[in-house]
Amino acid sequence: MTHPPYLSPGYKSTVLRAPAQELVMPKLGPDSVELASPVFGHQELGRLDEDLTVQHPGEPLGERIVVTGRVLDGQGRPVRGTLVEVWQANAAGRYAHLGDIHPAPLDPNFTGAGRCLTDDDGRYRFVTIKPGAYPWRNHHNAWRPAHIHFSVFGTAFTQRLITQMYFPGDPLFAYDPIFQSIPDERAREKLICRFDMDTTEPEWALGYQWDIVLGDTPMEA
Amino acid sequence: MTTASHDGAPGPTPSQTVGPFFGYALPYETGPRVVPGWRPDAIDVRGRVLDGAGEPVPDALLEIWQADESGRIPRRPGGIVRDGHDFSGFGRCGTDADGAFWFTTVKPGAVGDGAPCIAVLVFARGLLKPVFTRLYFPEDETAHAADPLLGAVPAERRATLIAAREGERRYRFDIRLQGDRETVFLGF
Ligand SMILES: [Fe+2]
């Protein structure tokens, strides 16, 4: 089982939000609209959307990183021209969101939102700052491992995926009910990017590789 | 279907919750306005997302995707930067403090044997993967009787997939994630 179940009581917000009834699976499967995907174009994206470190007058604080990888389908083929959106906390673990009350500093030079379209190899690439871990109120002393939120479209609306990318060796993995909501350990590891010296840029930024594989649908068990 | 990723493990990338802090990143001003309100065939869809206690879900993200008024599947960009006449078929709206969302769009034409409907995805804090549903229109009762999906839904739950008429070209579609009158969610 790849995807987490809806109900995962360790993650408290699932208790009142997880559907309790069985999902309905029509005999004929998705219709032709659901098997198609919205199309997005380069003209809809901003020039600075791929580099989260240049969206303000000054440079953001923190460790500059390059995060890149390919969006692939279940057969390993590249998914071209698909919209990839990311958002994340700053280096101190604070989101530029009004609802984030973590008493860590905001960075006036970092918003933490980006987007791009994959190229002909299905590749995306972002320059950003390594996000900090942050506390949340799920349970006593609850901390989220550092992560970047990813949103990907794919070639069918049924493939639509929103997930989180984590960094290698994070000591918080064992304590995080969101990461641990994925029952299978090997499936969990798919969310951890890989440090890559070839992606690392001398005198500039560490590089990480992370591929995203789109199955038929995340709604499956 | 399985595949090998870089570590040799089979299968797709797992889903994780959208969390509570997407609001400054994913919604955009024109997201809910799939077509401009001045189009004579524009319709308004409004609704709320409610949890298992009947409380509003103020941090949900809805996405809709649909055919155009004649049942054609859109193949052109324009879901983010709307130019006012091209139809991209995609809409996105975050819920407000009351769990409320809205879209201005057109009623899709029928596609294949199905009754006219709009695909709806809901993401939220507390949803480790999205819920997928469909919005059907109340005036299409005859087509509903022959719709392959509605036919697979227990009769007593079917109404959760059909929007309520609220006026001329206005519909209400509430989404109940859990509990009493829980919306029918699809397993694909
Ligand atoms: Fe987060």
Show the domains of chain B with their CATH numbers.
Answer: 16-176 (2.60.130.10)
Q: Which residue is it, tokens 């699932």?
A: A14
Q: Which residues of A are catalytic?
A: 95, 134, 144, 147, 149
What's the pLDDT tens digit per position in B60-86? 999 999 999 999 999 988 889 888 788
Contact at CB, A6 and B128, closer than 8 angstroms: yes
For ligand 1, the distance from its centroid to the CA atom of residue B44, given in whole angstroms, is 32
**Residue of chain B whose Cα is closest to the Cα of A215:** B12
Mean pLDDT of B93-119: 96
Nearest to B42 by CA among B99, B92, B94, B87: B87
Question: Would A4 be classed as within a structural domain?
Answer: no
Distance from the Cα of B152 to chain A's closest Cα (Å) equals 6
B10: pLDDT strictly greater than 60: no
CATH number of the domain that A67 lies in?
2.60.130.10
Cβ of B186 within 8 Å of Cβ of A23? The answer is: yes
Residue A220 pLDDT: 63
Nearest CA in chain B to A9: B126
Residue A23 falls inside a structural domain:
no
The predicted pLDDT at position A48 comes to 83
What's the domain count of chain A? 1
Element (H, E) at A186: helix A185-189
Gap between the Cα atoms of B172 and A26, Å rounded: 24
Give me the residues of A, 118-147, that contact B with CB < 8 A.
none
CA of A133 to the centre of ligand 1 (A): 9
Domain annotation covers residue A8 = no
Residue A149 resides in a domain = yes
Q: What is the pLDDT of residue B89?
A: 96
The answer to whether residues B167 and B43 touch, using CB atoms and an 8 Å cutoff, is no
Question: Are A4 and B128 in contact, with CB atoms under 8 Å apart?
Answer: yes
Of the two residues A29 and B124, the one the predictor is more confident about is B124
Judged by CB atoms closer than 8 Å, whether chains meet at B1 and A215 is answered as yes
**Contact between chains at B152 and A29 (C-beta distance less than 8 A):** no
For B133-164, how does the pLDDT look when each residue is reduced to its tens digit (9 = 90+)? 999 999 999 999 999 999 999 999 999 999 99
Sign of the torsion formed by the C-alpha atoms of B81, B82, B87 and B93: positive
Which of B9, B15, B77 faces A161 most closely, judged by CB atoms? B15
Q: Which domain holds residue A100?
A: 46-215
Taking 90 as the threshold, does the pLDDT of residue B119 lie above it? yes
Residue A89 lies in a domain: yes
3-state secondary structure chain B: CCCECCCCCECCCCCCCCCCCCCCCCCCCCCCECCCCCCCCEEEEEEEEECCCCCECCCEEEEEECCCCCCCCCCCCCCCCCCCCCCCCEEEEECCCCCEEEEEEECCCCCCCCCCEEEEEEEECCCCCCEEEEEECHHHHHHHHHCHHHHHCCHHHHHHHECEEEECCEEECCEECCCCCCCCCECC
Q: What pTM was computed for the model?
A: 0.96
Let me know if residue A55 belongs to a domain: yes
Q: What whole-number distance in Å separates Cα of residue A123 and Cα of residue A70?
A: 4
A17·B51 Cβ contact <8 A: yes
Local confidence pLDDT in tens for the 221 residues of chain A: 799 999 999 999 999 999 999 999 888 889 999 999 999 999 999 888 999 999 999 999 999 999 999 999 999 999 999 999 999 999 999 999 989 999 999 999 999 999 999 999 999 999 999 999 999 999 999 999 999 999 999 999 999 999 999 999 999 999 999 999 999 999 999 999 999 999 999 999 999 999 999 988 777 65
